[in-house]
Amino acid sequence: MATRLAKKVGATTIANLSNIDYVYTKDPNKFKDAHKIEQISWKEFRKMVGDVWDPGMNVPFDPIASKLAEQQKMHVAIVNGTNIKNLDRLLSGKTFEGTRIED
């Protein structure tokens, strides 16, 4: 688990590469009124994903990892892993497209 490894090496930021550009309020493939979330607190994010991992669950960052990341005061960036230019911006500390989870 990336969050445990980050804790072990003292990292404070995790880049979570996904097939989505942002976390959304709802599934944008099913709901036209879904809104992208550019920044969200751990408290609000954890309300969205819950506290228990359920096999087959479809969430951008799993509940168990979210709890540990919040406890460790980590920053998580959820970005589309297929967009290499955007990933480069993230890794270079520049403005990127994606969702930032932090307090």
The reported pLDDT for the residue numbered 53 is 81
Provide the 3-class DSSP secondary structure of residue 71.
helix
Residue 43: the pLDDT is 95
- Find the radius of gyration of the CA atoms of the chain: 13
Our measurement of the distance from residue 42's CA atom to the centroid of its chain's CA atoms, rounded to an integer in Å, reads 10
Whole-number pLDDT of residue 56: 74
Which structural domains are found in the chain, ordered by start?
A: 2-101 (3.40.1160.10)
Strand, helix or coil at 33?
coil
Show the low-confidence residues of the chain (pLDDT under 70). none
Q: Which residues share a beta bridge with 24? A: 36
pLDDT of residue 77: 97
Q: Which residues pair with 15 in a beta bridge?
A: 77
pLDDT for position 82: 96
pLDDT for the residue 99? 97
Q: Check residue 87 and give its pLDDT.
A: 94
